[in-house]
């Protein structure tokens, strides 16, 4: 059995690596799109919204409900893509770590 100092050092190393991964996720960008490209939402893989682009053709009072629906769809698309990128990045980071099978990280 490993001594307590080795276990604590390993835990600290895991924590440091996970923090680096979390920091990197905020630099990776994904783009959610709806309405055939009329509405676009750019977000970080951590889920932070960076930019929203709305095609000029949608800026009419009579189209308000459709615009709201398209924004919600674009946000959801960006979130789905951010989750996928986040999962892939975390898998890369944790692949060499001695974590028990089925262990879920809190991110």
Which 3-state string (H, E, C) describes 33-77? EEHHHCEEEEEECCCCEEEEEECHHHCCHHHHHHHHHHHHHHHHH
CA dist., res. 68 & res. 7, Å (int):
51
pLDDT tens by residue, 35-82:
999 989 888 888 788 888 888 888 888 888 888 888 888 888 888 888
CA dist., res. 50 & res. 28, Å (int):
11
Residue showing tokens 């009419």:
60
Q: So what CATH class is 4-94?
A: alpha beta
Per-residue pLDDT for 107 more than 50?
no
103: number of Cβ within 10 Å: 9
pLDDT tens by residue, 86-105:
888 777 766 766 666 666 55
pLDDT of residue 76: 87
pLDDT of residue 100: 62
């Amino acid at each position: 059995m490993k001594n307590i100092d080795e276990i604590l050092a390993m835990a600290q190393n895991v924590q440091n690596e996970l923090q680096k991964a979390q920091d990197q996720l905020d630099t990776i960008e994904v783009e959610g799109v709806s309405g055939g490209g009329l509405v676009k939402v750019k977000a970080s893989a951590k889920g932070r919204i960076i930019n929203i682009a709305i095609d000029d053709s949608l800026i009419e009072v009579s189209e308000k409900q459709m615009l709201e629906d398209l924004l919600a769809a674009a946000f959801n698309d960006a979130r789905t893509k951010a989750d996928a990128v986040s999962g892939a990045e975390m898998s890369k980071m944790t692949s060499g770590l001695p974590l028990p099978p089925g262990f879920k990280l809190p991110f």
